[in-house]
A and B are shown apart, each in its own frame.
Chain A
Amino acid sequence: MSDGFLSIENVAMYFGGLRALDDVSFEVERGAVLGLIGPNGSGKTTLMNVVSGVLKPTYGNVRFGGKRIADVPTYAVCRLGIARTFQVVKPFANLSVRENVAVGAMYGRNGGSRSARASFDHAQELLEIVGLARVADRFASELTVPDRKRLEVAKALALDPEVLLLDEVMAGLNATEVDEALELLRTINRRGTTLIVVEHLMKAIVSISTAIVVLAEGKKIAEGAPAEVLASPRVIEAYLGARYVKRQRQREAGA
């Protein structure tokens, strides 16, 4: 049942003749971890851009806590409580890791009422949560790939979001690093943040999602509980592929 927390309502996004999103609707419940999957070019990042106010949809609406936000600019959406990470991370390369996070803490939902000192304290606390306290004084440009992804998450968390949109934060991580990233996302979710996770690593999506939405060619083709969605022939054909199904069968046979 919908609790009216975050609603995507008949969203369409056209770029010239290209229908990047075509009449997409779904609900995200407070406290959920929604896995958003689909082939490359299916509209996942476009949808992230619409929800975070980077793009204004051609048609349709996004409602957050009952309030219509499709026309609200990005900076205001972030202050309403929706933050995001970017697929291609862009930290302030010449600021320290701590300063990068403090920028968000000063700017975000509670930024106006937070002193510089309190912002740096908050940044430090977040760096401890994401596991970057050890490199807090390094330049962001010196970080390894997994640490840059962690910084991207910490920067977004510094905005004190109710909803965090994560765009492929696990791409390029190995199995151990993915497990660590999943543990971090669970911690963030337990602290009360609703997550929308875009990811191609099915192991990660299956392990963390409470619900899954599948996009293909701009349309929603499936939605529901993970096990159900991933068994859908349509999702297998459009996204998972035959090799995934074969591996699953082998795992189940072996288990």
Chain B
Amino acid sequence: MSGVLRVDRLAAGYGDTQVLWDISFDVNPGEIVAIIGSNGAGKSTLLGAISGLVRTWSGSVTYDGRDLTGDHADQVVAAGVVQVPQGRRLFGSMTVEENLLMGAYLRRDKEIRSDLEKLLDLLPRLRERLQYLAGHLSGGEQQQVAIARALMARPKVLLIDEMSLGLAPVMVDQLLEIIKTIHATGVSIVMVEQDVETALEVSGRAYVLETGRFALSGPSSELLDDPKVKKAYLGI
């Protein structure tokens, strides 16, 4: 079972430009938490700050009591917090299999192969495509590889950035089923999504990020009915 991911009074930015102010939230073991907001609100910066890709200015990030603030990205992955980056960011000229094994780069145990087999049982499409170059796959298949690559690191918490971007509705359905299966194995999930309706349908709790601050939070089912959320993010 996973521990608590805790972000406490986090501030972060680039150069002189502050992007995030006073961000605090917890992700409890086995939760799916969604972070929604407009372009430029700071969603990807927040995931980057947790992952060690964006330097934090103040505040802290801890997982299971261990301080990850200021750790390098590889140390964060080793601690069990693993990101699926926006735009997939696969190694396009490597095969699907090689991409998946890259996810296990930090592991020294003997179960890498058997984990790979289990994943391919979960994602039969990738088994068919195992020796294809990742860059030759369709968008939906690439997103499956990106998620599977993250899973090869044996995450306790999975951070997923804009999973649905540029994907057909039916493909998003399939990916959500995969996410639910992963979640059922005890992995906590933080989803950053532009597709607010999808994010609120699949998550238990959600936070609305506006210009670098949390403007609203609560159970996703309540946010789905919130007039402000409906108007600003669902367009209804």
Contacts and interface: CB of A to CB of B under 8 A. Distances in A.
Interface of A: 37-41, 87, 144-146, 168, 171-179, 200, 202-203, 237-244, 247
A171 B167 CA distance: 9
A47 to B, nearest CB: 15
- In this complex, the member of A41, A174, A241, A244 whose beta carbon has the largest number of chain B beta carbons within 10 angstroms is A174
B141 interface: yes
A40 B196 contact: no
B166 interface: yes
A245 B119 CA distance: 30
Query: Which interface class (under 10, 10 to 19, 20 to 34, 35 or more) fits B?
Result: 20 to 34
Contacts of A240: 169-170
Interface of B: 38-40, 137-141, 162, 165-173, 176, 194, 196-197, 201, 232-235
Nearest to B168: A39
Given A41-B139, A174-B39, A202-B169, 13 more contacts: A40-B140, A146-B39, A171-B166, A173-B194, A174-B194, A175-B234, A176-B38, A179-B235, A200-B166, A240-B169, A240-B170, A241-B172, A244-B170
- The B interface, classified by DSSP as helix, strand, loop or mixed, is helix
A173 B140 contact: no
Contact of A144 (B39, B138, B173, B232): B39
A177 B170 contact: no
Contacts of A172: 39, 162, 165-166, 194
- In this complex, the member of B172, B173, B176, B235 whose beta carbon has the largest number of chain A beta carbons within 10 angstroms is B235
Given A40-B139, A41-B138, A176 B232 contact: yes
Contact of A200 (B137, B167, B201, B232): B167
B196 A242 contact: no
A174 B233 contact: yes
A17 B40 CA distance: 42
A39 B170 contact: yes
